[in-house]
Structure 1
Amino acid sequence: MKLLVVIGLTGEQGSSVAELFSHKPGWKVRGITRNPFSPKAQTWLSKDVEVVKADLNDPSSLSSAFSGATAIFSYTNFYEPFYSPATKSLLKEGQTINEYCFEKELQQGKNIADAAIKVEGLERFVISAECDSRKWSRGKYTWVYHFESKAKMVDYINERYPQLAGKMNIIYMGGYMLNWKEHLHFRKAEDGTIRMAIVKGPSNASRPMIDTSRDIGTLVSAAIEAAPGKKILGAGDNTSLEDQFKLWCKIHKLPYGGFDVMTVDQFDKILPIPGLGREIGEMMLFGDEFGWGGGEDVVLPQDLGVPCPLTSWEEYIKLEDWSTVISPLM
């Protein structure tokens, strides 16, 4: 029996991976979480998933959590400190919360790698990461800290642990399709059309998206089966924001009205935490101008050489209940 260790068992990415592998013949799942007694963590016990306490900020706790792993799925949550009231008191003088989250996430990634390299018999290390936005934009975009921190984790592994790098596949995770239900800003214009307020570049560039609950497990399974050394674009759909919006309106029989394009500063002001809008806004502009993988040689899921069926944007729209989004627009 092979063992997959899933970091972030109760999160969007980790739960999708654990769900798929809990039904996958020949595999056993061990999920790690800071609070194994939380209701979300406890639900996994009925699915025959081993739930283990470990903290990414405590390297000593990771060694036992990783013991015996055939494969590890590595995920770190950059945004978690944004929503913690305690974070403000932890900032250094003059430090932004974005910079704090960068440092914290990078250290967590290093802790994971330091523990993973010691695992005897480890065959595959799959890491949810992103490209180095500062590097590929040549310093134009300096606030996409959640891309940069993840890219630095990969650099750390490549430079310090070439043996682990030789077992690694990287997933450059696309935007979550569920963000359309939770975090986008729609309005009904005076002419009756539906418009979206968003930060976007002038080009009609592709924006990769993934159905987190249905597909991240499938994507990680393919990354484990595929040969190592790949940078995979984590996307079930990779079309432009304009085409995505037009299709969403068409399926719901709503008149498409286009975009109310905001600046990064405007976007930052409408989000609840200072710095959050700049982080996400610059990410959107970076992706529109340089692509989600920057200048990396990125492999599409369908080109991995192993089966990797993912949900398209059209399928996702038809599968989901959109009543809470559409009702205010009527």
Structure 2
Amino acid sequence: MSKFIAIVGATGFQGGSVLKVLHAAGGYKLRALSRNPDSDSAKSLAAEYPGVEWVQANLNDTPSLRKALTGVDAVFVVTDFFQKDTLEKAAAGDKDGEFAQGKNVVDAAIDVGVKSVIYSSLHSMKQLSNGKYTGVHHFEGKHKVEEYILSKADEIKGYFIYLGYYMENYVRFSRISPEDNQTVEFTTPLKPTTKIPLVDTTNDTGHVVKYILEHPDECLGKAVEVSGGYYEAQEMAKAFTKATGKPARFVQVPYEVTGFDELTEMFNALDEFGNFGGSTRFLEYNKKMDYTFATPEEFWKNRNWDGPSN
């Protein structure tokens, strides 16, 4: 696959991982797309990764996307249902805001002659659950973008990654126990024994995208799942104690604590059907990669994180 790569969402977990890995690999010309390339996060990354071109683009503004994608060979795309504008549309009844953004990027890429798109998609939870869970819109929207890309196979080559459950979620949803003001509690609606495919998003994502770029014929039109392996949801708490020596425990909270009907349904679905529907196809890809995915214990060691400050 050609070497001029545009990265949508370069300041986020996934896009930032792609930026880091491809920059370190060398041999790639990189263009990072951001709503605000003058933001502190974009400026920090520009200083950290010299030689990367930063351009302004908005996923709701097709002309800006055409301009930003002109001249590139391939584009990595991640969309986010939980952005403010997309959530506002969803609250008003428009559940297709994320699909519209993904379609905008694909259409702009086709318009300016981009050869390939690597899209961060997900399984359809509606399909995985045989129609039981139909309201996990950030799964459905991404899968709908994937289907749209495949429908344009005669105009652009489509590649897809499916990320597992972010290990970073355990950082976000943590607290110090009010009982002893010492134990770190990792809170999630998942059942403690639910097996989930975990992913160290900020490190793992870029290596899988790099593999796709290096093996385009093998990966064309396929979904490459991104995870180091299946673990019980409670394993991240146990791993934290092993890595840091600090007390920790897993705390299951009610599904409804998320405050979003969509997330309530998602956690129900994950407990019953999982992110990948039990698939282990990713393990075959992992064996081929010159990269070792982090275990939960390694994740905590690499972060050097002692726990929440309050």
TM class by shorter chain equals: 0.7 to 0.9
Residue 233 of structure 2 aligns with which residue? 241
Q: Do the aligned partners of 1:3 and 1:27 also contact (CA within 8 Å) in 2?
A: yes
Residue 271 of structure 1 aligns with which residue? none
Alignment of 1:38-187 (within 5 A): 38-46=39-47, 47-81=50-84, 91=89, 96=91, 100=94, 102-120=95-113, 122=115, 124-159=116-151, 161-163=152-154, 167-185=157-175, 187=177
Q: Distance in 2 between matches of 1:133 and 1:304?
A: 27
Query: Secondary structure of 1:51's partner?
Result: strand
Query: Secondary structure of 2:75's partner?
Result: strand
Residue 297 of structure 2 aligns with which residue? 314
Q: What does the per-residue CA deviation read over 1:297-325, in whole Å, with 9 as the maximum and x for residues that have no partner? A: 84337447443432222211112233233
Query: Secondary structure of 2:59's partner?
Result: coil
Q: Do the aligned partners of 1:225 and 1:306 also contact (CA within 8 Å) in 2?
A: no
Q: What does the per-residue CA deviation read over 1:197-234, in whole Å, with 9 as the maximum and x for residues that have no partner? A: 431248x3321222222222222111222322321221
Q: Which amino acid aligns with 1:31?
A: A
Q: What does the per-residue CA deviation read over 1:250-301, in whole Å, with 9 as the maximum and x for residues that have no partner? A: 3344566554x33322x13xxxxx42xx333332332222121238784337
Q: Distance in 2 between matches of 1:258 and 1:182?
A: 14
Alignment of 1:280-319 (within 5 A): 280-294=263-277, 298-300=281-283, 302-303=285-286, 305-319=288-302
Extract unaligned runs of 5+ from structure 2: none
Percent identity between matched residues is: 30
Q: Do the aligned partners of 2:70 and 2:114 also contact (CA within 8 Å) in 1?
A: no
Displacement of 1:169 in angstroms is: 2.1
Q: What does the per-residue CA deviation read over 1:122-164, in whole Å, with 9 as the maximum and x for residues that have no partner? A: 2x421111111122213322332111110111111223x0235
Summarize the Cα distance change of 1:51–1:254 in structure 2 as closer, same or farther, 3 Å threshold: closer
Q: Do the aligned partners of 1:230 and 1:298 also contact (CA within 8 Å) in 2?
A: no
Query: What TM-score do you get using the length of structure 2 for normalisation?
Result: 0.84
Q: Do the aligned partners of 2:244 and 2:306 also contact (CA within 8 Å) in 1?
A: no
Query: Secondary structure of 2:96's partner?
Result: helix
Q: Distance in 1 between matches of 2:58 and 2:249?
A: 46
The structure 2 residue matched to 1:208, chosen from 190, 197, 200, is 197
Q: Distance in 2 between matches of 1:44 and 1:320?
A: 18
Instruction: Compute the RMSD of aligned alpha carbons.
Output: 3.0
Extract unaligned runs of 5+ from structure 1: 269-273
Which aligned runs of 4 or more in structure 1 are off by greater than 6 angstroms?
Answer: none
Residue 31 of structure 2 aligns with which residue? 30
Q: Do the aligned partners of 1:232 and 1:300 also contact (CA within 8 Å) in 2?
A: no
Q: Which amino acid aligns with 2:253?
A: M
Number of residue pairs the alignment of both structures matches: 303
Q: Which amino acid aligns with 1:113?
A: V
Q: Which amino acid aligns with 2:205?
A: I
Q: Which amino acid aligns with 1:292?
A: N
Q: Do the aligned partners of 2:255 and 2:267 also contact (CA within 8 Å) in 1?
A: no
Q: Distance in 2 between matches of 1:13 and 1:193?
A: 30
